[in-house]
Amino acid sequence: LVSKLTSSGLLKTRGLIDGKWVDAHDGDTIKVLNPATGEVVANVPCMGQNETNNAISSAYNAFRLLVGGISSRGLVMGVQLLLCCLCRLASMPSEGNGTWISPLQYDLLISHKEELGQLITLEQGKPLKEAMGEVIYGASFIEFYAEEAKRVYGDIIPATLGDRRLFVLKQCCLFLCNPFMQQSHEFLQPVGVVGAITPWNFPLAMITRKVGPALACGCTVIVKPSELTPLTALAAAELALQAGIPPGVLNVVMGKASDIGDALLASPEVRKITFTGSTAVGKKLMAGAAGTVKRLSLELGGNAPCIVFDDADLDVAVKGSLAAKFRNSGQTCVCANRIIVQEGIYDKFADAFSKAVQSMQVGDGFSEGVMQGPLINEAAVQKVESFVQDAIVKGAKVLLGGKRHSLGMTFYEPTVISDVTEAMLLSREEVFGPVAPLLRFKTEEEAILVANNTKAGLAAYIFTNNVQRSWRVTEALEYGLVGVNEGLISTEVGLILCSPMETIDWLLKTYKMSVAKQVAPFGGLKQSGLGREGSKYGMDEYLEAINAVHNLK
Ligand code: ADP
């Protein structure tokens, strides 16, 4: 497979800076491992401050050159600008509205969904169909934002003085005009150079969810993928190059995470950090961004409650909770972390849910029929083990699983644990693994109190057939995303991620037919983060609103 991917040209093993594939300056490398087998898939450069600074300069030059206009920059830059514009307009069939995004980028991702899916399974471990589902999901952000770029509207505000006109400018329309004739605006409405730091659990989609709107707004980007899963990021960058993205607009560096992070934070040229990952690192980035007052988007950890009321449809609740819990072997920040079940339905639910969990096949993501792959690494398994041990010591009962899988490596048995209380680690922190803790409650008020009793506020799920209750509880929950009788909340295409049994072609067709894609905003309250990704709200994260006051006198 590795040699097949290499010959397809998508297995890239160098960083991308200024449109060129480069190694670390000292030749240092890190290994990328297949979590299912422990085999080395590839070696990639172990980069640090040096390479990050080069990437920042490249991204900054691309941003200034292409967005800043030419009037004050002389002929040489003017010629460069014209060449870049021509190259871009020729290769990127966007509407010429100051965006780096194009439908071609989407088409290339989709036409390479098999190779990209294979790369995801190789370095991340999720089942191949789920991985290909991620490609479709990830690509959908590019499609959505390529369209959304046309709808970055400004505003006209009635002025209090009759001879003034107030405009709010958001869109950079430089490319609507001939760059040699005039500059249509003095303003740089995109936020500027963006540092995008992404995790390993969605090696493609967490990148496109950030890079899509950033490019759509005219920003230039330095992506720092997780060191555990850089290959998918590099393959996506290669496809962006094939789609004609100009040098410097998209850069990829990887290696020493804190050195790269520090370089991004220290640079006044980087105007925004967008991050998905742990709350601990998110807090560090937030503190570090203060030095240069950067904008921030943070998608941090969750501790999702999944509340099952006595009046829920048992079948719907079991299916929804299963999807909410076991997607990506429990390794997503919206995975149900606490299944809080009302006492009247508790035993029936525990029984039906355990049966459903038991039916899931565990194995290498490349094997047919597998629904649960390995965990990302040994540290992840040890964390799960320590949480389960803590629960057992404090009186919880293991209904199913509760130990490493006989397959060895980082495989862990899908697990259901009952009689979990709020005192246990399983309900206080994200387990990030295939362990479903069941908690018991009596009243609606108690369920809401338990659900909100956490610093996190990302996703929550409720299962009930009582309409009034569903609205009441939705509004009482301190969460950014609430699924009501629904275990999949990342808009329609989220369906793909949890349906490894379905064929990808069917899913793709379903997705193609659906009119609404990436229409709902994704983001958390409290310590789960800042900002929203996806949807029309995701654009604002990469735009400045510039107030232009015109005096008519
Ligand atoms: P996880 O525990 O899920 O791996 P992390 O927050 O550690 O989550 O990682 C998410 C991303 O943040 C990864 O790309 C990782 O390399 C990066 N990262 C980790 N530490 C830092 C840091 N100090 N500065 C910048 N990025 C970091």
Q: What is the pLDDT of residue 330?
A: 97
Beginning with the edge strand found earlier in the chain, give each strand of the sheet holding 155-157 in spatial order: 155-157, 164-169, 546-551
Cβ of 301 closer than 6 Å to ligand 1, yes or no, is no
Q: Which atom of ligand 1 is nearest to the CA of 227?
A: 16
Ligand 1 centre from 199 Cα, in Å? Answer: 7
pLDDT for position 71: 35
Residue 187 has pLDDT above 70, yes or no: no
Cα 509 to ligand 1 centroid, rounded to whole Å: 35
Whether 233 lines ligand 1, by a CB cut-off of 6 Å, is: no
Sheet holding 415-418, edge to edge: 397-400, 415-418, 435-441, 336-342, 304-308, 459-463, 481-484
Task: Tell whether the model's pLDDT for residue 79 goes beyond 60.
Answer: no
* Residue 175 CA from chain centroid, whole number: 29
| CA of 29 relative to ligand 1 center, distance in Å | 18
Q: Take atom 4 of ligand 1 and give the residue whose Cα is closest.
A: 199
State residue 511's pLDDT score. 52
pLDDT digits (tens, 9 = 90+) for 194-212: 999 999 999 999 999 999 9
Q: Which atom of ligand 1 is nearest to the CA of 260?
A: 25
Tens-digit pLDDT profile for residues 16-75: 999 999 999 999 999 999 999 999 999 999 999 999 999 999 999 999 876 554 333 334
CB count in 10 Å sphere of residue 82 = 14
Please determine, for residue 183, whether its predicted confidence score (pLDDT) is greater than 50.
no
pLDDT in the model for residue 89: 37
- pLDDT tens, position by position, 359-381: 999 999 999 999 999 999 999 99
Cα 282 to middle of ligand 1, angstroms: 8
Lowest mean pLDDT of 172-186, 216-230, 404-418, name the range.
172-186
Of 76-85, 100-109, 215-224, 374-383, least confident by mean pLDDT is 76-85
For residue range 106-147, what is the model confidence (pLDDT) as tens digits? 999 999 999 999 999 999 999 999 999 899 989 999 999 999
Mean pLDDT for the chain overall: 88
Looking at per-residue confidence, does 241 or 486 come out higher?
Answer: 241
Q: Which helix (H) or strand (E) holds 217?
A: helix 205-217
The pLDDT value recorded for residue 153 is 85
pLDDT class of 505 with cuts at 50, 70, 90: low
Nearest atom (ligand 1) to Cα of 262: 24
Q: Tell me the per-residue pLDDT of 226-249, one tens digit each, with 9 for 90 and over.
A: 999 999 999 999 999 999 999 999
> Is 203 near ligand 1, meaning CB less than 6 Å away?
no
Ligand 1: which atom is nearest the Cα of residue 226?
A: 14
Confidence of residue 398 (pLDDT cuts 50, 70, 90): very high
- pLDDT beyond 70 at 444: yes
On whether the CB atoms of residues 347 and 396 are closer than 8 A, the answer is no
CA dist., res. 425 & res. 419, Å (int): 13
Predicted local confidence at residue 518, as pLDDT = 58
Q: How many CB atoms lie within 10 A of CB 80?
A: 15
- Residue 261 CB–ligand 1 contact under 6 Å: yes
The reply to whether 541 belongs to the active site is no
Ligand 1 site, residue 266, Cβ cutoff 6 A: no
Judged against a pLDDT cut of 80, whether residue 318 lies above it is answered with: yes
State which ligand 1 atom lies nearest to the alpha carbon of 224.
14
Q: Is the CB of 331 under 6 A from ligand 1?
A: no
Q: What are 321-360's pLDDT values in tens digits?
A: 999 999 999 999 999 999 999 999 999 999 999 999 999 9
The single residue of 134, 148, 299, 413 carrying the catalytic annotation is 299
Q: How far apart are the first and last CA of the chain?
A: 70
Q: Tell me if the pTM is above 0.90.
A: yes
Best residue among 232, 281, 328, 458 to mutate for probing ligand 1, ranked by most atoms within 8 Å of CB: 281
CA 379 to ligand 1 center in whole angstroms: 14
Ligand 1 centre and the CA of 526: distance in Å? 20
Tell me what pLDDT residue 151 has.
Answer: 87
Nearest CA owner, ligand 1 atom 15: 226
Amino acid at 479: Y
- Identity of the amino acid at 218: G
User: What average pLDDT score do residues 294-311 get?
Assistant: 98
Find out whether the beta carbon of 487 lies less than 6 Å from any atom of ligand 1.
no
The Cβ of residue 505 has, within 10 Å, a number of other Cβ atoms equal to 9
Any ligand 1 atom below 6 A from CB of 227: yes
Confidence category of residue 498, pLDDT binned at 50, 70, 90: very low
Return the residue whose CA atom lies nearest to atom 14 of ligand 1: 226
The per-residue pLDDT for 171 is 60
d(CA 299, ligand 1 centre) in Å: 12
